[in-house]
Amino acid sequence: MNHHHESKNQAFAQRFKSSRLHADLTQQELAGRVGISQAAIHKLESGQFGSSRKTVAIAMACRVNPVWLETGAGEMVPQQEKGVEVDPVDAAVSGGTSAQLGIVESELDKMIHNLYALRNQVRRLRNRQRARARRRKEESSDQNEPASLECAEALHPDDPTEMPASGA
């Protein structure tokens, strides 16, 4: 049974590495695209791990069929239909079992959740940047205010309301 588990891990490892090479990505580039460490990519490629929670994200990054990557079923790269490339998720949906489709749907839900979280984080960062810029502008205008008064006094020397009293 342990031997079966190892050969299953090796089969996944071969598909995994083939996927990465198909996408012409380094381990580090793939790790960055799917949000895991380069060490985890290495372990997946060497058969130390038999699968990943990120299988669908990995398949998307490598432009391969997620069902093929996970199970070996179907084709690695979906066939092109009428010159239009088939999306890997479409291929997975059309050729997957109910359990496999459930995995794809679950992964897509996680990806959508992560996208919303990322969008909200970007909005918070943008709002902080805008607030900092406003504070800098206000501080800058506060520092420039005395100079502006001096300029106004210099421009209107006959106006007693803007001229300081002379030392009489």
DSSP code of residue 84: B
Mean pLDDT of 57-76: 85
Specify if 84 maps to a domain: yes
Which domain CATH number covers 54? Answer: 1.10.260.40
Q: Structural domain tally of the chain?
A: 1
Tens of pLDDT, residue by residue over 12-31, are 899 999 999 999 999 999 99
Specify if 106 maps to a domain: no
Q: Which residue range forms the structural domain that includes residue 35?
A: 2-96
Specify if 142 maps to a domain: no
Residue partners of 55: CB distance under 8 A and separation at least 6: 66, 69, 70, 103, 107
Specify if 36 maps to a domain: yes
Check residue 26 and give its pLDDT: 93
